[in-house]
Structure 1
Amino acid sequence: MSDYEQLHRYLIDSMTASGSLRTQPWRRAAETVQRHEFLRGGFFRLVPGSTPSAWSPVLEGSDGWLQGAYADESLVTQIAGTIKPTDIRGEIMREPTSSSTLPSLVLRMLEDLRLEPEMTVLEIGTGTGYSTAVLCARLGDDYVTSIEYDEEVAQRAQGALGRHGAFPALLTGDGLLGDADRAPYDRVIATCAVRTVPTAWLEQTRPGGQILTTIGGWLNASELVRLKVDGDGTASGPVLGGHVSFMLARPHLAPPLGLLPDLTAGKERETRIGADVLRDWTTRFVTQFAVPTAQHLGLQLDGRNEDALVDAETGSWAALREESGYWIVRQDGAVPLWDVVEEHLGRWHAAGTPAVEKATVRVTAEGQSIHW
């Protein structure tokens, strides 16, 4: 047995033991797809201890490349929108923009999608093509369509899938618009996070069909959600939990805030909920449904540390500081941001702050909401 076969077998057995790979059909599909074939262009590894984060390339055939390809971890494959591992010698300090998702999460999501033979699936975000190949192995090429936003990433995925012998329908474009030409689909799965579930996905999913996506936001918390599409243009379903994190779809990234409003103005009052709650992942996820266009930043005013929420659409803001064990909020603008946060989190607290796995997300033409 070759080195990659041993590493592949160990990965499959590990995913089965952890519960990510739960059924024989998906295990058989995963066994046919060698992950290293989709990482021939290499990947970036985080430089230990680097601040800000620095990345160094790991190229095909180098020490650690094959072992990394079969590690159950996400691997960065593009930085700053255009830079590939083969473009770099040394280190680079820029933000990752594309990656190969850790295999256990890929298989967990595919299991959670509840696919059956002869169902059609639309995948948003081809990436390296690894998850696309697993879908093809399970369903057959004719039932799989995948959309990739980045043309160069799409070309590399197409090459890797072709070498693997998989030939699904591959599209390049804005996955948030879906694929009206081949719709409706039985299932839609997204390998990027969205701030709001696109209307196009609802329209292009059969009534009774399902959408599996990660809902995130500008407060930097996200969760995996499975939505059942109704015939009236709405959808609802459970939060599956697990603190699942994907890069936000590029059109959903937070805009630059630009010139900040005068954060020394506004009206002050004491608040029963302080900014410290925003250190918690689940609280941030819940809060995002109340103030979906707000961003959180830390700042110093008059020599003291403050937390601020600034709404990118309305310009409204709230600044919070702690004094003698009490929290003081100062806010201004068309929308009293912290009042909205207090009301929303107050309902969650009144329900006993249930885990997100007990929550349901509902999507309508008016927006999306979370319920317990």
Structure 2
Amino acid sequence: MNWEKRADTLADRVADPDSRWRPIVAAVPRHELVPRWWDVDDSGTWVLRKGGDDLDVWGEVAYTDRSLVTRVGGLHADHAMPGERPEGVPTSSATPPSMVVRMLRHGRLGAGLSLLDLGTGVGGLTAYASCRIGDRYVTSLDVDPYLTKAAASRLATIGLYPKFVTADATQRVPGTYDRIVSTVALPAGPGLRPVLAALATGGRIATTLERTSLVITGWKHPDGDVVGRVERDTAGFMPARSGDDYPPALTGLFATARVSDGDETGMGRYPVVDVANAWVLRSMLEVTTPGVELAYEQRDRIRTALLVHADGSWARASAEGTDPPDVHQGGPRRLWTALERIRSRLNAEGSLPLLGAQVRITPDGLCRLSRGKWHAVVGAP
């Protein structure tokens, strides 16, 4: 495989010609970090792909600016047997190189500054950072011992020896760091406290918040507060997990939402939208109505969105194409109504107040957002 040429082409796509990250992207053999991955076939089933089976496909996939899923549920592609079909959602992946570079830029790395990479994955960010500031200044942390072990081994083969730590970052983060860059979405509130405690005074963090695409950056002040902003950028990362897999989805409530009439029915104002992929809309929903889980289905021209919450609330909106949807809602809260309030604000004002908002994160993990007269707190019990 002529990986050098492919890596050079990838570097042209994800970094400007004069960027200090361009030669680094071109120098890292990304295919070595992803020898196996999961793909989805036409039936929606996870299928194992092995790089060694077709070097051309391996090279094309590894050096395309895309995410590669490496773990589904509790099954890593490295451990899968031929024909095995995992069930569940992705639990680890190789982050697109462009997103890795953007997060590193937000982290403001510098010579002699220690970096904590939260969410090892395949080790891509660790590799780029090690090439830039030196591997002795880089520590990579993941909850999964196989991921840290595999990344350490694969980076060693290309001459990089950063430190790897296996720990649950929502419970404990060993050490103190000048920079923290997270490619897992962190929970506001108690789960954020260990990460904040590991950030040195004067240090900088770049992360996203769970169930949002908001890129939060900030500097740690002597009083322990992290003060910064929501960048005018977005990124979609898997949420941090504490165990081998994510907690089970609200399957029973989704089943109810698919078929029940509900306590309230009516016609919605706006077309059905795949909320999970409408990133800023989804982020505002999490800020105003935390904890909503989502599903979206399309059969022929019928589009259906489902929203559920652990408190028993649920909503179903269904319509043909962009027609106004039939809406059914149940439980203590009206989730589709909450979403429509956000969409009304977006239509009336042309934007939502999230991107560019000021942020203050207190040591207890609460994230206070503000922009003009708008204020919100994320992570409150």
Tell me the TM-score range normalised by the shorter chain: 0.7 to 0.9
Residue 206 of structure 2, aligned match among 208, 212, 215: 212
> Letter of the aligned partner of 1:112 in structure 2?
H
Q: Which structure 2 segments of 5+ residues have no match?
A: 372-381
Does residue 106 of the first structure (1) align with residue 100 of the second (2)?
A: yes
Q: Are the counterparts in 2 of residues 228 and 237 from structure 1 also a CA contact under 8 Å?
A: no
The alpha-carbon distance between structure 1 residues 288 and 88, as it changes in their structure 2 partners (threshold 3 A), is same
Q: Which amino acid aligns with 1:172?
A: T
Q: Is the 8 A contact 1:57 1:85 kept in 2?
A: no
Give 1:23's aligned residue.
19
Helix, strand or coil at the partner of 1:165:
coil
Q: SS in structure 1 opposite 2:216?
A: strand
Change (3 A) 1:213 1:178: farther
Go from structure 1 to structure 2 and tell me whether the alpha carbon gap of 1:343 and 1:10 turns closer, same or farther (over 3 Å shift): closer
Q: Deviations over 1:144-183 (max 9, x none)?
A: 111121111221111112222322221112133352x411
Give the AA of the match of 1:289: V
* Corresponding residue of 1:10: 9
- Cα deviation, residue 340, structure 1: 4.5
Q: Which amino acid aligns with 2:232?
A: L
Task: Choose which of 49, 52, 56 in structure 2 pairs with 1:57.
Answer: 49
- Residues of 2 paired with 1:238 and 1:129: CA distance? 26
- RMSD (Å) for aligned C-alpha atoms: 3.7
- Partners of 2:312 and 2:122 in 1: how far apart? 39
Partner of 1:241: 233
Question: What one-letter code is carried by the residue in structure 1 that aligns with 2:111?
Answer: P
CA contact (8 A) 1:123 1:189 kept: yes
Letter in 2 for 1:317: W
Secondary structure (helix, strand or coil) at the match of 1:176 reads coil
Deviates more, 1:133-142 or 1:70-79: 70-79
The aligned residue for residue 376 of structure 2 is none
Matches within 5 A, 1:330-369: 331-338=329-336, 340-341=338-339, 346-354=344-352, 357-364=355-362, 365=364, 367-368=366-367
How far is the alpha carbon of 1:265 from its aligned partner?
4.7
Aligned to 1:175: 169
- DSSP-derived class of the 1:286 partner: helix
Structure 2: how far apart are the matches of 1:192 and 1:97? 10
Determine the C-alpha separation between the residues in 1 that align with 2:368 and 2:246. 20
Relative to 1, partners in 2 of residues 1:228 and 1:87: Cα closer, same or farther, differing over 3 Å? same
Shift in Å, 1:347: 4.9
Alignment of 1:297-312 (within 5 A): 297=295, 307-312=305-310
Aligned to 1:161: 155
1:1-372 aligned within 5 A: 3-16=2-15, 19=16, 23-24=19-20, 26-39=21-34, 42-44=35-37, 46=39, 50-60=42-52, 62-64=54-56, 65-85=58-78, 87-90=80-83, 92=85, 94=87, 95-179=89-173, 181-183=174-176, 185-196=177-188, 198-217=192-211, 222-230=213-221, 231-242=223-234, 244-251=235-242, 253=246, 255-260=248-253, 263-267=260-264, 276=273, 278=275, 280-297=278-295, 307-312=305-310, 314-320=311-317, 331-338=329-336, 340-341=338-339, 346-354=344-352, 357-364=355-362, 365=364, 367-368=366-367, 370-372=369-371
Distance 1:68 1:338 in 2: 38
**TM-score for the superposition, normalised by structure 1:** 0.78
Q: 1:126·1:147 contact (CA, 8 Å) conserved in 2?
A: yes
Contact 1:228–1:235 (8 Å) recurs in 2: yes
**Worse-superposed segment, 56-65 or 114-123:** 56-65
- 2:120–2:126 CA contact under 8 A, matched in 1: yes
The 1-side partners of 2:47 and 2:327 are apart by 39
SS of alignment partner, residue 175 of structure 1: coil
Q: Is the 8 A contact 2:218 2:226 kept in 1?
A: no
Distance 2:92 2:5 in 1: 27
- What CA distance in whole angstroms lies between the structure 2 residues aligned with 1:310 and 1:205? 35
Alpha-carbon shift at residue 78 of structure 1 (Å):
2.8
Distance 2:334 2:112 in 1: 50
1: distance between equivalents of 2:60 and 2:318?
A: 47
One-letter code of the match for 2:9?
Y
Distance 1:321 1:3, change over 3 A: closer
Q: Secondary structure at the match of 1:109?
A: helix
Deviation at 1:101, TM superposition (A): 1.7
Q: Secondary structure at the match of 1:105?
A: helix
Q: How many residues align?
A: 354
Gaps of 5+ in 1: none
- The 2-side partners of 1:330 and 1:367 are apart by 33
Q: Percent sequence identity over matched residues? A: 28
- In the TM superposition, residue 45 of structure 1 has moved relative to its aligned partner by 5.4
